[in-house]
Structure 1
Amino acid sequence: MISSPSGPLDFSGVRLAYDTVAEDYATYFPDTRAEALLDLAMIDAFSEAVMASDDPRVLDAGCGAGRMSRYLAERGCLVQGVDLSSSMVAMARRDHRDLVFTVGSLTDLPYPDEQFAGVMLWYSIIHTPPAGHARIFAEATRVLRPAGHLLVGFQAGEGTRDVSAAYRQFGHEVQLERYLYTADQVASEIEAAGLREVCRLVRRAQGRERDDQAVLLAKAD
């Protein structure tokens, strides 16, 4: 747990929810078909920046069942994944046997300083309230090498969404909500962690999406 002005933040509910839905999640989200082409273009820009380094190791932080780890690996990145949910990590190991996945928290990454040329937080901050972001971005910055890149994807806006109903159709009774953040808000938090914004994408909701989507690319000095 990490501290906030109102007390410690407890991620056990998020862990339990994803442990419960992991197998169905891996089945219904096996690849990048949920991403728009614009989203993938930002990931491609990130991977190209990482591949320009001599040692293109990338951390997929909040990797879930490993679908985005596979996408990065297909572009030449040397990917490792970490996720809070042991069941999601089990799915990632099952479906992507050539990649390395570890159980761990984004607020206390199990890696030494300056380990990676890139860190990707692909919709990994959405279940964390604002008080937890400083620690997540501080950890991402810690494990980045100088001139390394950070990519953050999230739903854009304000307020919260109850996403429990999305899993009831698969027979899972879980409690799970996600937080909306503006691109300016996340950019400010990233800069406070010592990174410099390179570019951003904010696009309107498409298909079954309820909210706008945002992606920020930043770089360590």
Structure 2
Amino acid sequence: MTDLDATRAAYDTVAADYADLLRDELADKPLDRALLGAFAEHVARDGGGPVADLGCGPGRIAAHLAGLGVDVRGLDLSPRMVEVARAEHPVIPFEVGSMTELPYADGSLAGALSWYSIIHVPQELQAAVFAEFARVLRPGGRLLLAFQVSEEADEDVVHLTRAYGHDIDLRTRRQRPARVRERLLAAGFAPTAELLREPEAPEKSRQAVLLATRAS
């Protein structure tokens, strides 16, 4: 089973319980709300346009952005996650798809975010995924990434066998921010801001949020 297959199967298994557990998480995270709000404001200031939540899960981040006036749509590898997202947020378009082959035309998006979804992308695929992000964003388009931090290695793989009340087989990858920046630069992005914060229970590592702009 490939990493993509395993990730899809794991999130299909946990989708309903994942959605229930994290539904109101943003209410207790003012910093995350502020960062998402800044991203939305940048997109609006740049003239607006469609934004894709890549690895959208049950749609909670997309729904928050929609509430800020963003023209958002969601994409997720897990069909079950997409079912949950459509049921909970019926006015937002969601579809099944992979970040390795995005179903959007070249330069068609004003913004994209990957909120804790590049954590499932193996290092050998990350350059290609970032190239896909660059392909679908228009020049000047905004990209927002959130991920857990690896303090030394380029990535620190965590193998989960139990989560959200289910037995699963899922690998997440803590990543070194400097390495992520390097790959963004190589894909045609200009990193514009980076935030590192200390873990908050039940987190076990520092967290990173990185904002970048698609170069002209």
Secondary structure of the equivalent of 1:176? strand
Aligned equivalent of 1:117: 110
Determine the C-alpha separation between the residues in 2 that align with 1:27 and 1:178: 21
2:100 maps to which of 91, 107, 132: 107
Aligned equivalent of 1:4: none
1:136 maps to which of 107, 112, 129: 129
1:82·1:103 contact (CA, 8 Å) conserved in 2? Answer: yes
Secondary structure of the equivalent of 1:201? strand
- What root-mean-square deviation, in Å, do the aligned CA atoms of Structure 1 and Structure 2 show? 1.6
* CA deviation after TM superposition for structure 1 residue 101, in Å: 0.3
Secondary structure of the equivalent of 1:179? strand
Higher helix share: 2
1:31·1:68 contact (CA, 8 Å) conserved in 2? Answer: no
1:203·1:214 contact (CA, 8 Å) conserved in 2? Answer: yes
* CA deviation after TM superposition for structure 1 residue 42, in Å: 1.8
* CA deviation after TM superposition for structure 1 residue 83, in Å: 0.4
Aligned equivalent of 1:81: 74
Aligned equivalent of 1:207: 201
Determine the C-alpha separation between the residues in 2 that align with 1:35 and 1:117: 28
What is the identity, as a one-letter code, of the residue corresponding to 1:113?
D
TM-score normalised over the length of structure 2:
0.93
5 Å-filtered alignment, 1:19-38, equals 19-33=12-26, 36-38=29-31
* CA deviation after TM superposition for structure 1 residue 35, in Å: 6.5
Q: Give percent identity, aligned residues only.
A: 42
2:160·2:168 contact (CA, 8 Å) conserved in 1? Answer: no
What is the identity, as a one-letter code, of the residue corresponding to 1:165?
R
Determine the C-alpha separation between the residues in 2 that align with 1:196 and 1:94: 36
* CA deviation after TM superposition for structure 1 residue 141, in Å: 0.7
For structure 1, the 5+ residue unaligned runs are 1-7
What is the identity, as a one-letter code, of the residue corresponding to 1:140?
F
2:171 maps to which of 166, 172, 177: 177
* CA deviation after TM superposition for structure 1 residue 34, in Å: 7.6
Provide, for residues 50-100 of structure 1, a one-character-per-residue CA deviation record: whole Å limited to 9, x for no partner.
111333311000000000000111111000100000000000000000000
Provide, for residues 134-153 of structure 1, a one-character-per-residue CA deviation record: whole Å limited to 9, x for no partner.
11111111110111000000
1:161 maps to which of 136, 158, 161: 158
Determine the C-alpha separation between the residues in 1 that align with 2:147 and 2:28: 12
Determine the C-alpha separation between the residues in 2 that align with 1:95 and 1:122: 19
What is the identity, as a one-letter code, of the residue corresponding to 2:78?
S
Aligned equivalent of 2:64: 71
Secondary structure of the equivalent of 1:174? strand
Secondary structure of the equivalent of 1:207? coil
Determine the C-alpha separation between the residues in 2 that align with 1:122 and 1:135: 18
Determine the C-alpha separation between the residues in 1 that align with 2:58 and 2:169: 20
1:183·1:202 contact (CA, 8 Å) conserved in 2? Answer: no
5 Å-filtered alignment, 1:180-199, equals 180-199=174-193
